[in-house]
A and B are shown apart, each in its own frame.
Chain A
């Protein structure tokens, strides 16, 4: 009996009433046969709409140029940016010379090397190209394109996604408002077309691409716990590289079945919004997706397709209530960019936020400026989250299940989490001596 079954049957029949109650209270009915390949823990509830509200009169497509990477200079000021970069360069050299753990040549080289696959793709470029000449289509094989029920197809897609490295997979009907209006200086438009294409002015997504496959990839907590160092940065960049491989492989698989597939990582649209709709997780205080299995320790990516698929539902695992009282990420954030508000709201912090939905909006320029100051990026908010756990002991599953069902215990759980030392920064020097599994992650985690 594995740990998930143990919980499903009420803590192995040990007679702990609380366990039985927690397990049996969950709506664990399969929402699609795809769930036979992947399902959330039994204490995760399926709901019809995401818990945080969307104002349909305001929420619209976001111009990617306004994100922090595209407009940092505009938000921070040209002079301030120059000063910041100078400070960052000086500090980088200072850390090199003093051989500070986590900032030495080997640490930086590791972080850079972990990006290597990610750099093979971009919006409709390289591994993220919207069409492929190398795929063997059903036509070339002399057969009809794949036909199966949406449920059966969802099962295939989820199995293939897992095979290509997805930690969790969800499917949703694409809400076009999640897709950027412009990116790379071009309009992104939906048109009646057989294949996606790009010309000098626009990127065209065929109208028939109605489905979005939301995918998460685990990041190594052992790396992220060393944040803010290059070791932590390597955890993040490795996540991106694995996303790259995942979306490229899955898109090619779908094309091989005879359908359109548009692979995407952070480009094209909001992976977080699509992930929430597809039931990968909930929106947390960091304004990022938090999953029940890995907390925020995931990278997200997606594939848009016209392949008919059974869809999943958004989920509720008590995160909203937990984030209201926890605030550990906001307290730990060295740039003070995460909101301390008790409640999520519609009030954005600046142009970098897409308005029209409830969230704890972040002060992105402060965050990005700290990335430069630290010289190696930052992901402190990820390992301090009490939902980011390695799952090697039963207590984490008990606490998560109890928190999902009894929000009154959240304060106690948060206090205990801190008291037991979770979320503390680890010594980057010791990372090199850890006997880590492949990619630094436990690929069996959260799989039941």
Chain B
């Protein structure tokens, strides 16, 4: 029996240190804006709240898109 039929081969792509660094920075960036958003809400600073909310959502969307794009690219490869 061929090896191929005997085993299920799972490939886990190793992220580089750069990718990990970017993920950490991205999470810190999100936390920063989330804290700013909550703080601005408590301060009744409407404009600061709206701006921080928009930046937070945009950061979340861009980050998620890049992650998905990278995932799909490597899946195809």
Contacts and interface: CB of A to CB of B under 8 A. Distances in A.
Contacts of A434: 44
A426 B48 contact: no
B47 A421 contact: yes
B46 interface: yes
Interface string B22-45: 000000100010011011101111
B47 A424 contact: yes
Contact residues of B: prevailing secondary structure: helix
A426 B51 CA distance: 18
A420 B39 contact: no
A222 B44 CA distance: 8
A40 B65 CA distance: 44
A421 B28 contact: no
Contacts of B44: 222, 426, 434
Given A14-B28, A392-B39, 15 more contacts: A392-B42, A392-B43, A393-B36, A393-B38, A393-B39, A394-B35, A395-B36, A419-B51, A420-B45, A421-B46, A421-B47, A421-B48, A421-B51, A422-B45, A424-B47
Interface string A369-396: 0000000000000000000011011110
A421 B35 contact: no
A393 B40 contact: yes
- Cβ-closest 5 pairs across A and B: A393-B39, A421-B47, A392-B39, A392-B42, A420-B48
For the residues of A in contact with B, the DSSP-based class is: loop
Nearest to A396: B39
A420 B35 contact: no
Nearest to B47: A421
User: Which of B32, B38, B42, B45 has the most chain A CB atoms inside 10 A of its CB?
Assistant: B45
Interface residues of B, number: 15
A424 B46 CA distance: 10
Interface residues of A, number: 15
B35 A390 contact: no
8 contacts: A14-B28, A222-B44, A389-B43, A393-B38, A394-B35, A394-B36, A395-B32, A421-B45
Contacts of A390: 42-43
Q: Identify which of A390, A392, A393, A434 gathers the most chain B CB atoms within 10 Å of its CB.
A: A393
Contacts of A421: 45-48, 51
Contacts of B38: 393
Nearest to A434: B44
Contacts of B47: 420-421, 424
Contacts of A422: 45, 48
Contacts of A14: 28
Contact of B39 (A222, A394, A424, A426): A394
A422 B39 CA distance: 13
Nearest to A389: B43
B25 to A, nearest CB: 11
A213 to B, nearest CB: 31
A257 B46 CA distance: 49
Contacts of A394: 32, 35-36, 39
Nearest to A436: B44
Max chain B CB contacts within 10 Å: which of A222, A390, A420? A420
A392 B47 CA distance: 15
A148 B64 CA distance: 64
Interface in A402-419: 419
A392 B51 CA distance: 16
